[in-house]
A and B are shown apart, each in its own frame.
Chain A
Amino acid sequence: QSALTQPASVSGSPGQSITISCTGTSSDIGGYDYVCWYQQHPGKAPKLMIYDVSNRPSGVSDRFSGSKSGDTASLTISGLQADDEADYYCASYRSSSVVFGGGTKLTVL
């Protein structure tokens, strides 16, 4: 099962906005609205940031937003803060299983 494709790294300055892409196929991202995004700080468990493409769980800042176009999903973080520096993973339903992206390291300059 090949992973979804994410950029290895992105960076931005405090206050700026960044977008992380996640590319799949019509068998996963393009075929279902079950796309999630997770944030993981070093040594910690992942934290759900977005589910069902664009929904935020209770307690997640509205600076985080998700979208999808065709086979590509995106996570946008606005008003970057130092604590946003972390690894971010997308995930999607695919044929009775779930597939994750390879992860993107976000650096806040």
Chain B
Amino acid sequence: EVQLLESGGGLVQPGGSLRLSCAASGFTFSSYAMTWVRQAPGKGLEWVSGIKNSGGNTYYADSVKGRFTISRDNSKNTLYLQMNSLRVEDTALYFCAKSLGGYARGYDYWGQGNLVTVSS
């Protein structure tokens, strides 16, 4: 059974940093691209970042480019999102998701979501 378990969220002040983790199991992690998608309270889905299976190629939404860094450790079956210079508008539920194949083709398994709140 595929499982994605996020951790690392919480309350942080504007300008602060957080690192999200997503522990994967039930599939060959190193064979699939992975992505982060967020959802602000009461709002729609927003794609944040994607990473190819090898980790060599990363992609970002304009809204987070230069502030967020996606990475993965295939030996630990874990996906990460390092979030720096956080803003109030980054407040959201952050989902990690497994790609069907390429990072843009569709996400067939999702984590339960991890809440990040940016507030003073």
A98–B35 CB distance below 8 A:
yes
Is B44 interfacial (CB 8 A cutoff)?
A: yes
Interface membership of chain B positions 92-105, coded 1 if the CB is closer than 8 angstroms to chain A and 0 otherwise = 00010000101111
Q: A21 to chain B: closest CB distance in Å?
A: 16
Which residues of chain B from 6 to 57 have a CB within 8 Å of any chain A CB? 35, 37, 44-47, 50
Query: CA A50 – CA B35 in complex, angstroms?
Result: 18
Which residues of chain A from 67 to 109 have a CB within 8 Å of any chain B CB? 87, 89, 91, 93, 96-103
Is A7 interfacial (CB 8 A cutoff)?
A: no
Looking at the complex, which one of B47, B100, B112 makes contact with A97 (CB distance below 8 Å)? Answer: B47
A102–B105 CB distance below 8 A:
no
- Which positions in B face A, CB cutoff 8 Å? 35, 37, 44-47, 50, 59-63, 95, 100, 102-108, 110-113
* Count, A-B residue pairs, CB within 8 A: 69
**Chain B residue with Cβ nearest A45:** B110
Looking at the complex, which one of A52, A87, A100, A103 makes contact with B47 (CB distance below 8 Å)? Answer: A100
B61–A51 CB distance below 8 A:
no
**Chain B residue with Cβ nearest A46:** B110
Q: A102 to chain B: closest CB distance in Å?
A: 5
Query: CA A91 – CA B47 in complex, angstroms?
Result: 9
Q: B100 to chain A: closest CB distance in Å?
A: 6
**Chain B residue with Cβ nearest A43:** B113
Is A3 interfacial (CB 8 A cutoff)?
A: yes
Q: B59 to chain A: closest CB distance in Å?
A: 5
Please list the 8 inter-chain residue pairs (A to B) with the smallest Cβ-Cβ separation, ordered nearest first. A51-B106, A45-B110, A93-B104, A98-B47, A103-B44, A36-B106, A100-B45, A48-B108
